[in-house]
DNA sequence: GGGATGGTTTTCAACGTTGTAGACTGACGG
DNA sequence: CCGTCAGTCTACAACGTTGAAAACCATCCC
C-alpha cells in the first residue's frame, strides 16, 4: 500500500480511501491510484484490514456434515447468498455430539467471523443461554424458540402434516413414520411427528405407536435399517412418512428388495426436496421446505444484524414457505 | 490479553508465550496465566495474530459446487483432514466459467489463506502459468500435468479402463459412454475416455463413435438427457460406462422408464463411489477413486509445503489407489 | 478582502498480537 | 567471589490497515 501511494504520489490513506470507495475523491486522483494498484498488482492484506476495522468479511455456518445432501445443498445456497453480499462462508461441521456443539459455540470461531448462521441440532430450549454469543446470530431450522436471536424456521409441523394428508388423500390408512426421536418435542423430529399426528387426527385415524420408527440419525443407511426392522416385525402398512429424503430413499430400497411395490403397495413421501429425489426409481414425493428461501432470508437477516443498529433489532422469526411436491412414489399408476 | 497479563501479574508477552506453548515457562507462571485466561474468558484475536504472524490457519478449497455429491463428500473429507492439522477450510465454488476460475486464482482469496487445494476444472496445460500463485498449492484430480505444483491424481484412465473391463467380463460388447468432452485430452473426461478405449482395444472390440455421448456437465439431469437422446436415436447397447455416478443415476432412471432392465438388459457402471450409489435401485456399480485418501494426502502435502522449507520441495505427483466396486447394476441375476 | 463552505487530502494513532533482543535470576564451576 | 550459562521473563517495535480529526484548497458570498 505504501508502494502504491508512492507510485501514485498520494498518501496511503488516499489509497485506502480509493479502495473503500470513499466518495470525495477527485476522479483524476482515483485513476492514478487505480493505475498504480494495477501496475504493482497490489492486493489488500485481509488480516490487517480485519484487525483495524473489526470486520472479517466472513460469516460462519454451523451445521451437520456435508454428507447429508440436504445440508450440502443448503451450504451451497448459503454460499451463493453470502457471495451476493460480498461475504465468505466458513463452514463448521457438527459431529452430533452435544458437548462438541457447545464447544463450537463457545470457541474462537464465532469471534473470527462477523456473524454466524446456525443450523441447530442438539440443543434444546434449556440451552438458550448458550446462544448468548458476542456476534450476530441467526438460527436456521427449529429447536429453540423464544431465543434471543433471529430465526428462520422450517415449517416442520405444517409440512409433515401436509405430507401425511397427501398420503391419506391417496386412501392410505396405515402410515408408518420413519425418523422419530424418543421424547423429543421441539426438534425437527418432534415437530414433524406432531404434524403427522395432527393429520391422523384430522382424518379420524387412530395414532398407533407400533407404526412409529425411532431413528436417531437420518442417513440413508438408517432409513434402510429402520425399514428392515419394521418388515422383520411384520408390521402392516400401506404408506410411509419419512422425516427426510435420505431416510425415505434408504427405506424405499429395502421395500423394493422385499418385493413391495412403490407406490402400489406402499406409498412413500420424504422431506427436504433434495435433488436426488428427482432421479430415484421411482421418483420420491417430498416436502420442499423452502431451502433456497431459508438461505436467502437468513443471510439477509444476518447482514442486517451485522450492520449499524443491528444489535437493537428485536428477535424476529420468519417461517419459510413449504410445499408438498408429489412425485411417483405417491402416484398410483392407473392399470 | 492485557487484562489477562494484569490479572496474572505478568507481561503480555508471557501470556502470548503460554498460549503458544513456548517451552521455557515456569509451571507456576503458566498456571497463573491459564487461570487468568479462564477467569476472564479471554479468546485470542485471530486477525491480530494473522497480521503479526503472517499465517491465517486457513486453507482454501477451490472446487465445483457442493451440489455434486462427489464434491460435497470430498469437501467433507478435506475438512476433516484439515481439522486434524488445526486448519480451517474456506470453500470457493467454481461456476464452470473459465474466466471466473482465473479470477478466483488471481483474486485475494488465495492470499488470505496459508495454502490452497485446487480441484482443477477448466484449466488446461496452457494455463500452467496461472498456477504461479504466491501461496502453496496442491492440485486434486487431473488436467494439468508437469505443473509447478504438487498433485494428487485420480487414476482416471486406469479406473475407467477397469470399469469398462468389468462390463466386458460380463459379456457386454456394445458399451455406451456417458460424459465425454469434445476434443478434450487431459481432463477427467478425456482420460476416462482413453481408459474406455484401452479396455475395448484389449478385448478386441472396435471403438464406435456413435456409442459415445458428449455431455458437458455431469449432473443427474445431464445423464438423463443424454440417455434420452441415445434412446431416441435408437442406438443399440448392452452396457453403459458413465464418467461419474450422477450421470449413471440419471441415465439409469431413464433406462428404467424406457422399460430396459438394469442390469439384465443394460449393465451400468459409474465413477466416484458416492454414498448414493449404495441405495439406488438397483445399487450402482462404480469406481472408488480413493477419495478419502486423496483428501488426506492432499492436506498432508499442503501442510508440508506450508511448513518451513516447503517452498524448496520438488513438485510431487501422488496417484490415489482406485478400485472397482461391483454392485447390482452389473450383477446379472441368476434366474 | 475576509470568512464561511464544502470537497479533497493528509497526519496520526491505534487495532491485538508476536519476533527480536535483551534483562533478570539462580546455579554452578573455577 | 566472579563469570558463565541455562532458564525465565520483559520491553519494544512492528505487522498493514482504517477511523478521527485536522489541514488544505478552491469557490462563493457578503
Please calculate the CA angle A158-A190-A256 and round it to the nearest 5 degrees: 80
In terms of domains, do A131 and A107 share one? yes
Cα radius of gyration rounded to whole Å, chain A: 25
Say what the pLDDT of residue B308 is: 78
Measured between its terminal Cα atoms, the distance across chain B in Å is 75
Q: Which pLDDT score, from 0 to 100, does residue A143 have? A: 60
Residue B169 has pLDDT above 70, yes or no: yes
Cis peptide before B328, with omega less than 30 degrees from 0? no
Task: Confirm whether B53 is domain-assigned.
Answer: no
Q: State the pLDDT at residue B290.
A: 94
pLDDT of res. A49: 92
- CATH number, domain of A174, equals 3.40.50.2300
Query: CB under 8 Å to B102, separation ≥6 — which residues?
Result: B123, B127, B130
How does residue B121 score in pLDDT terms, banded at 50, 70 and 90?
low
Neighbouring CB atoms inside 10 A of B162's CB total: 17
Beta strand A239-242 pairing with A267-269? parallel
| Nearest nucleotide, CA A10 to C1' | C9
Q: Give yes or no for residue B176 having a pLDDT over 60.
A: yes
| pLDDT at position A74 | 95
pLDDT at position A302 is 94
User: Please, which pLDDT band fits residue B106 given cuts at 50, 70 and 90?
Assistant: confident
Q: Flag whether B51 is in a domain.
A: no
Nearest nucleotide to B8 (CA to C1') is: D9
In a domain, B111, yes or no: yes
Band (B313; pLDDT cuts 50, 70, 90): confident
CA-closest candidate to residue A82, choices B92, B94, B86:
B92
pLDDT bracket for residue B143 (50, 70, 90) = low
Indicate the DSSP class of residue B131. Answer: G
Q: What is the mean pLDDT of chain A?
A: 90
Considering the domain architecture, whether residues A162 and A241 belong to the same structural domain is answered as: yes
Residues B71 and B150 in one domain: yes
Distance B82 CA to C21 C1' (A): 35
- Residue B175: its pLDDT value, please? 97
Q: For B247-284, write each residue's pLDDT tens digit.
A: 999 999 999 989 999 899 999 999 999 998 998 889 99
Return the pLDDT at A112.
81
Q: CA of A15 vs C1' of C2, distance in Å? A: 35
Q: Which residue is nearest to nucleotide D15 (CA to C1')?
A: B52
What band does B177 get if pLDDT is binned at 50, 70 and 90?
A: very high
Q: Is residue A127 part of a domain?
A: yes
- CA dist., res. A226 & res. A228, Å (int): 5
C-alpha distances in angstroms, A167 versus A123, A227, B61, B142?
32, 18, 43, 47
Over 80: is that where the pLDDT of A122 sits? no
Q: What is the DSSP letter of A207?
A: P
Q: pLDDT confidence of B145, banded at 50, 70, 90?
A: low
Q: What is the pLDDT of residue A145?
A: 64
Q: Which residues touch strand D (CB under 7 A)?
A: A 1-2, 12-13, 16, 19-20, 42, 44-45, 48-49, 51-53; B 9-14, 17, 23-26, 28-30, 48, 51-52
Residue A164 covered by a domain: yes
Once rounded to an integer, what is the mean pLDDT over residues B9-28?
92
Given a cut of 60, is residue A247 above it in pLDDT?
Answer: yes
Nucleic strand C within 7 A of Cβ B20: yes
- Average of pLDDT values for B108-131? 77
Q: Which of A19, A72, A90 is the best residue to mutate to test the B interface, defined by the most B CB atoms within 10 Å of its own CB?
A: A72
Cα dihedral B41, B47, B53, B57 in deg (nearest 10): 90
Q: What is the pLDDT of residue A148?
A: 78
Q: Tell me if A67 and B48 make a contact (CB, 8 A cut-off).
A: no
A271 shares a domain with A165: yes
Cβ(A179)–Cβ(A189) under 8 Å?
yes
* Position A78 in a domain: yes
Sheet holding A212-214, edge to edge: A212-214, A175-180, A239-242, A267-269
Decide: A200 and A241 in contact? Cβ < 8 Å.
no
Whether residue B158 is predicted with pLDDT greater than 70 in this model: the reply is yes
Which pLDDT score is estimated for B148?
78
Q: For A152-175, how does the pLDDT look when each residue is reduced to its tens digit (9 = 90+)?
A: 989 999 999 999 999 999 999 999
Inter-chain contact A67–B275, Cβ cutoff 8 Å?
yes
Task: Check residue B335 and give its pLDDT.
Answer: 54
Which pLDDT tens digit goes with each residue over B36-47? 999 998 999 989
Torsion sign (Cα): B300, B303, B307, B311: positive
Q: What percent of chain A has pLDDT over 90?
A: 63
Same domain for A98 and A18 = no
Q: Whose C1' is closest to the CA of B33: which nucleotide?
A: D9
- Closest C-alpha among A279, A247, A68 to residue B73: A68
For residue A335, is pLDDT > 60? no
Chain segment A270-294, per-residue pLDDT in tens: 999 999 899 888 999 999 999 999 9
Ramachandran quadrant class, A24 (left: phi over 0; alpha: psi -120 to 50; beta: rest): beta
Residues of A in Cβ contact (< 8 Å) with B77: none
The pLDDT, as a whole number, for residue A291 is 94
Are residues B165 and B202 in contact, defined by beta-carbon separation less than 8 angstroms?
yes
Residues of chain B contacting A89 with CB distance shorter than 8 Å: 91
Asked if residue B36 belongs to a domain, the reply is yes
d(CA B101, CA B93): 9
Mean pLDDT of A46-59: 90
Nearest nucleotide, CA B11 to C1': D10
pLDDT band at residue A124, thresholds of 50, 70 and 90? low
- Element (DSSP H or E) covering residue A18: helix A12-19
How many Å lie between the alpha carbon of B81 and the closest alpha carbon of chain A?
A: 13
List of chain A residues whose C-beta atoms are within 8 Å of the C-beta of residue B224: 279
B303/B82 Cα distance (integer angstroms): 9
Q: What is the mean pLDDT of residues B130-146?
A: 77
Nearest CA in chain A to B224: A279
A66 and A132 part of one domain: yes
* pLDDT reported for residue A121: 67
Q: Which residues of A touch B72 (CB under 8 A)?
A: 66-67, 69, 72, 75
Assess whether A140 and A183 both reside in one domain: no
Q: Which residue, A243, A246, A263, is CA-closest to A161?
A: A243
The pLDDT of residue B312 is 79
Number of domains in chain B: 3
Share of chain B above pLDDT 90, in %: 63
What distance, in Å, lies between the first and last C-alpha atoms of chain A? 75
Q: Which of residues 11-50 of A touch strand C (CB under 7 A)?
A: 11-14, 17, 22-26, 29-30, 48
**What pLDDT, on a 0 to 100 scale, did the predictor assign at position A332?**
81
Residue with more model confidence, A95 or A158: A158
Residues A279 and A163 occupy one common structural domain: yes
Tens-place pLDDT, residues A175-227: 999 999 988 777 889 999 999 999 999 999 999 999 999 998 899 999 999 99
Ranges of beta strands (E only) in A145-285 are 150-153, 175-180, 212-214, 239-242, 267-269
Mean pLDDT for chain B?
A: 90
Range of the domain at A7: 2-44
Q: Do both A254 and A176 map to the same domain?
A: yes
Range name among A204-208, B123-127, B295-299 with the lowest pLDDT average: B123-127
| B185 plus B279 within the same structural domain | yes
Percent of chain A with pLDDT over 70: 96
B100 to chain A: which residues are within 8 Å by CB? none
What stretches of B70-166 adopt beta strand conformation (E)? 88-94, 115-119, 137-141, 150-153
Q: Which of A56, A256, A276 sits opposite B276 (nearest CB)?
A: A276
Beta bridge partners of B198: none
Task: State whether B280 and B161 are in the same domain.
Answer: yes
Query: The CATH number of the domain where B15 resides is what?
Result: 1.10.260.40
Angle at the Cα of A319 (from A317 to A323), degrees rounded to 5? Answer: 175
- Residue B281's pLDDT is what? 85
Q: Which of B85, B81, B79 is nearest to B61 (CA)?
A: B79
Give distance CA B107 / C1' D14 (Å): 27
Contacts of B249 in chain A (CB under 8 A): 279
Indicate if B146 and B94 belong to the same structural domain. Answer: yes
Q: Does residue B52 sit within a domain? A: no
Amino acid at each position: 500500500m505504501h508502494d502504491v501511494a508512492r507510485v501514485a504520489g498520494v498518501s496511503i490513506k488516499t489509497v485506502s480511501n480509493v479502495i473503500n470507495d470513499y466518495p470525495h475523491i477527485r476522479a483524476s486522483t482515483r485513476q492514478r491510484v487505480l493505475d498504480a494498484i494495477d501496475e504493482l498488482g497490489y492486493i489488500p492484506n485481509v488480516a490487517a484490514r480485519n484487525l483495524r476495522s473489526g470486520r472479517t468479511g466472513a460469516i460462519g455456518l454451523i451445521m451437520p456434515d456435508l454428507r447429508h445432501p440436504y445440508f450440502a445443498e443448503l451450504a451451497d445456497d448459503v454460499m451463493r447468498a453470502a457471495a451476493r453480499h460480498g461475504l465468505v462462508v466458513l463452514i463448521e461441521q457438527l459431529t452430533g455430539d452435544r458437548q462438541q456443539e457447545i464447544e463450537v459455540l463457545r470457541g474462537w470461531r464465532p469471534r473470527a467471523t462477523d456473524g454466524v448462521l446456525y443450523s441447530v441440532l442438539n440443543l434444546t430450549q434449556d440451552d438458550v443461554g448458550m446462544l448468548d454469543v458476542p456476534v450476530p446470530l441467526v438460527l436456521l431450522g427449529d429447536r429453540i424458540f423464544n431465543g434471543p436471536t433471529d430465526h428462520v424456521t422450517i415449517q416442520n409441523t405444517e409440512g409433515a402434516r401436509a405430507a401425511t394428508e397427501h398420503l391419506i388423500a391417496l386412501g392410505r390408512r396405515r402410515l408408518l413414520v420413519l425418523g422419530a426421536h424418543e421424547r423429543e418435542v421441539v426438534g425437527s423430529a418432534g415437530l414433524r411427528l406432531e404434524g403427522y399426528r395432527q393429520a391422523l387426527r384430522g382424518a379420524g385415524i387412530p395414532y398407533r405407536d407400533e407404526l412409529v420408527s425411532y431413528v436417531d440419525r437420518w442417513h440413508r443407511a438408517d432409513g434402510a435399517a429402520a425399514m428392515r426392522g419394521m418388515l422383520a416385525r411384520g408390521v402392516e402398512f400401506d404408506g410411509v412418512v419419512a422425516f427426510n429424503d435420505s431416510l425415505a430413499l434408504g427405506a424405499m430400497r429395502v421395500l423394493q428388495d422385499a418385493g413391495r411395490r412403490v407406490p402400489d403397495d406402499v406409498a412413500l413421501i420424504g422431506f427436504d426436496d433434495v435433488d436426488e429425489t428427482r432421479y430415484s426409481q421411482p421418483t420420491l414425493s417430498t416436502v420442499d421446505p423452502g431451502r433456497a428461501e431459508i438461505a436467502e432470508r437468513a443471510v439477509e437477516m444476518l447482514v442486517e444484524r451485522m450492520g449499524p443498529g443491528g444489535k437493537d433489532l428485536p428477535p424476529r422469526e420468519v417461517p419459510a414457505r413449504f410445499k408438498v411436491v408429489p412425485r411417483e412414489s405417491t402416484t398410483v399408476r392407473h392399470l
